[in-house]
A and B are shown apart, each in its own frame.
Chain A
């Protein structure tokens, strides 16, 4: 090192280059381009889907989040399925019978094999349900099950701790997916990364944050899907997702940037897919902090939700004018459950309340639902008209959700997905006193909400009770202002046919083909 300056720039550049090529090899980069095979028949095609986030856990009752439900649903079946109208239909159970308020018997389907070759039977179902009721997510949906008894090897009897009419709905949630008992016994710790189910697709590989590959389950007992392979790639940035769709790197994406909707509509290569979803988005009040119902009502009257949906959401979603529960989930009441837009009335009511100028915090996430920030800006300007200053507090999603749980805000912005398809579930979790997610601290409809669990689902009596409850907390007590019903929002390439979503935001891939 006598002449350090002589050649060091060149030498260190060479060393760096060498280091890079080593690292490249170390992390699996190859010089090959994207895999382009020979043309494949539409039936054996691969569907590549770009999602906003990656999966977290693929073990149904353990820490699976709603973002995981789509993946779980493709690989795991449940005892019960929901038809497009939300009616329970046979899944892995062929039939069921309610013996009493707290006792149900399910008959298990014959001839179902898990992808590891083991058979489904009553014992497997018992092992699964007993595991689920102790697991963090499983307990939330199935905790009402006190015990599971075998009745022969084809039937199980579920004993509930209290009457619970939406049991069938909750058994249809991906969290209640039935896992191979052999896999539970031998490999429970790794189930979150190595799913073993009986669904139409089987797990092939998963590189976190990069790609998950599923393949058609050739031994599937039901109608086999036409697709051979499904690749799910997480692409967090919406603009990149759309670009990847335009370039043909993926065939389907969820949540394209809503601002690009007109571009998608004009394009011949890309189609938009907007389908109903079981998720209302609403503005809520923390009742202790905004105690005057007149002020709350004036605020509800001052918000023009029709204009917001039309101009800000550009039609992705529909204004919530028949209550908090989307009309696709409950038969709407004869009189719409709504506080109509009436600016003059709102001003009068504010004067009557004698509240003067009011300043209220509104806590919201930046972009968790659709264009939250933009919607909130419009609400803010509409409230200004009646002398209410909405102080927008845009928080990162984890902070926002915790602020709500801790009742730290006067007004909040929240959407609630009803994964189990029974709106009573939302009413119990968000409007029943004592519920952790009762962000408003409401307790005015406890008796009625409790009664829902006793009435059989999908009966006129139960639906009209749900409408009465909604009318109470929306029109009478003004606990929340329902804003809009969200939609599943996807964009697909024109080569993709038959891609649909369900109200519970799952995919229906049964008829999907990809022409290449």
Chain B
């Protein structure tokens, strides 16, 4: 740390819970992030709490109101077959959020386990896991999901989608975590623990995980946005959530065909989609700044190159020995 940084940051953080409070305070200072978090939370609650209160169920058809623009009876309008767009949008929102959060959490769990084990153990385990990562990157995820998902109907498609998106979504995060673990492995406090005779699993649990927790949290949050975007794309092409169930993506897909003439069919779903992805990104960025205001957090490209840079520096040091 340069002297200027030392002086400015030098205030020792308050003890124990102090650090968590510090992160919390920094996050709260970031207004866009807070707004994003609040909106996301509200939408999550609304998507589950609202449907039971609505007069129309998402599948019900009102034959008296076919393809009608928004009205007091149907605040978001109706579809060609009389379904209430508000109810559909809420249901779609629910499903999209569920998919987003589930995929984010599952893929993070896989990524952190694979990455930490590969990073810490090295050797053959590392090579095997990285080879698997390479394979999954080459396999066309899109195509595999596209082949599978339409085979299932309704809610089953959502489960399949979550599983497949998780299976194909953990590779890049795993690489980052592996890189982090490898650099942690050589940090003195991990070496000290190993020299004390601590067994591997203890080292992972008590030293590695807490120190990568911040990256994990940030990545998981950003993954929510990415998962929802991916699901939307798939649904748009007809490979995502299958009827009779809906997601924001499938709603946009069906609505796009008549977008220019009956905008309410896709506008609300589209608007909500952009909103939740935007909010997820804002919260993720806000978390990143809150955990490490000095650093910019880990990003895929940066990490890859940072790894290469580290290795290059090691090379140089060895060269300097000559």
The answer to whether A and B come from one shared complex is no
Interface residues of A (CB under 8 A from B): none
